[in-house]
């Protein structure tokens, strides 16, 4: 295997296309799922902030479910299970599309929203109560206090965790291969089946994942340091 190590065949022509398309799908999964997750997480945080016990329990239940059920099982429940709950006509209509991608985005996005929600909540909790008091004492109302004083600090506090979980989401996109999304890992496997160059295929995919993960982690460390510099003594 090591003797004929040759990246050439897979980095050119249709094989490279396969990998690139896989990477492209990974990127799209990542983008849509992340946006869905962040939007939903912010919504959940706002719901939680209303302080009503019903809201608190709903959000807590949502978070608990998505953190305790394995992501793969969530994916399978959405892709295999949910369509059968829909009315016949909708199911027939859905058969016209490749629903794997959509369900993957939904499943990954919903799952990730739970993690982001908890990160934001922890970030808000880390703010000393004196901050709210000071803002209100100046005459800033609830919304303005939130907007200029509380939320900026909350997000900054939450940033390291948010970045960590973003990396997690990125890695989770590979789970979509279980429901047939031809993302990078699936593509690498397919390529391996065509070329039998297992080591090279896996290596390229691995390096791809590593590059993005390390970039994200590095960006996170930079951001954290930038914000801490502004505050630290």
Partner 1 sequence: MKPMIMFANVDKWYGEYRALTTINAEIRQGEVVVVCGPSGSGKSTLIRTVNRLEAIQGGQILFEGHDIHGTDANLNRLRSRIGFVFQSFNLFPHMSVLDNITLSPTKLRGLRQGAARKQAMELLDRVGMAHKAGAYPGQLSGGQQQRVAIARALAMEPPVMLFDEPTSALDPEMVGEVLQVMRSLARDGMTMMCVTHEMNFAREVADTIWFMDAGEILERATPEQFFSTPQHPRAQRFISDLRAH
Partner 2 sequence: MLDVFVIIRDNWELFLLGQYPHGPLGGLVNTLILSALALLIAFPLSLLVVMARISPFAWVRWPATVWVYVLRGVPLIMVIFWTYFLVPLLIGRNISGFTTMLCTLVIYQSAYLSEIVRAGIQGLPAGQAEAARALGLGYFRTFGWVILPQALFNALPSLISQFISIIKETTLGYMINVQEMTFAANQVNNQLLTQPFQVYAILAITYYLLCYGLTRVATAVEHRIERKRQGDRASTPSSPTGPTLTASEPSR
Kindly list the residues in this chain that would bind partner 2 in the complex (CB under 8 A). 1, 64-65, 67-74, 76-77, 80-82, 84-85, 167, 171-175, 177-178, 185, 188-189, 198-199, 202, 205-206, 209-210, 213-214, 217
Residues of this chain, 165-224, that bind partner 1 according to CB under 8 A: none
Residue 223, binding choice from partner 2, partner 1, none, Cβ under 5 to 8 Å by partner class? none
Residue 36, binding choice from partner 1, partner 2, none, Cβ under 5 to 8 Å by partner class? none
Burial 169-195 (b: 16+ CB within 10 A, else e): bbebbbbbbbbebbbbbbbbbbbbeee
Residue 139, binding choice from partner 1, partner 2, none, Cβ under 5 to 8 Å by partner class? partner 1
Q: Which two tokens stand for residue 159?
A: 């940033």
Interaction of residue 3 with partner 1, rule CB under 8 A: no
Mention every residue, 6+ apart, whose C-beta is less than 8 A from residue 135.
Answer: 144, 145, 148, 149, 150
Residue 210, binding choice from partner 1, partner 2, none, Cβ under 5 to 8 Å by partner class? partner 2
Smaller CB separation from partner 1, 53 or 139: 139
CB of 60 to partner 2, least distance (A): 12
> Site for partner 1 (CB under 8 A): how many residues?
23
Q: Which two tokens stand for residue 42?
A: 């912010």
Q: Binding residue for partner 1 (CB under 8 A) from 153, 172, 173, 174?
A: 153
Let me know the angle formed at the C-alpha of 201 by 197 and 205, rounded to the nearest 5 degrees: 170
CB 29 within 8 A of CB 175: no
| Displacement of CA 75 from its chain's centroid (Å) | 14
CB of 98 to partner 1, least distance (A): 45
Q: Binding residue for partner 1 (CB under 8 A) from 51, 53, 87, 130?
A: 130
Smaller CB separation from partner 1, 199 or 227: 227
CB of 41 to partner 1, least distance (A): 21
Residue 74, binding choice from partner 1, partner 2, none, Cβ under 5 to 8 Å by partner class? partner 2
CA distance 134 to 155: 19
Q: Which residues bind partner 1 (CB under 8 A)?
A: 128, 130-131, 133-141, 144, 148-149, 152-153, 156, 227, 230-233
């Amino acid at each position: 295997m090591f003797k004929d190590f040759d990246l050439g065949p897979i980095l050119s022509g249709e094989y490279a296309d396969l990998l690139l398309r896989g990477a492209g799908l990974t990127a799209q999964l990542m983008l849509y799922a992340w946006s869905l997750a962040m939007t939903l997480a912010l919504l959940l945080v706002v719901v939680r902030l209303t302080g009503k016990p019903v809201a608190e329990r709903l959000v807590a239940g949502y978070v608990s479910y998505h953190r305790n059920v394995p992501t793969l099982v969530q994916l399978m429940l959405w892709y295999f299970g949910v369509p059968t709950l829909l009315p016949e006509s909708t199911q027939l209509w859905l058969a016209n599309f490749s629903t794997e991608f959509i369900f993957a985005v939904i499943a990954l996005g919903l799952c990730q929203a739970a993690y982001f929600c908890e990160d934001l909540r922890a970030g808000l909790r880390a703010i000393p109560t004196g901050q709210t008091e000071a803002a209100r004492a100046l005459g800033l109302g609830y919304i303005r206090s939130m907007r200029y004083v509380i939320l900026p600090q909350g997000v900054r506090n939450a940033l390291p965790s948010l970045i960590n979980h973003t990396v997690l989401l990125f890695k989770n996109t590979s789970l979509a291969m279980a429901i047939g999304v031809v993302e990078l890992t699936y593509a690498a496997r397919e390529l391996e089946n065509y070329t039998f160059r297992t080591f090279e295929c896996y290596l390229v995919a691995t390096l791809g994942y590593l590059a993005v993960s390390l970039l994200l982690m590095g960006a996170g460390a930079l951001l954290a340091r930038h914000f801490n510099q502004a505050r630290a003594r």
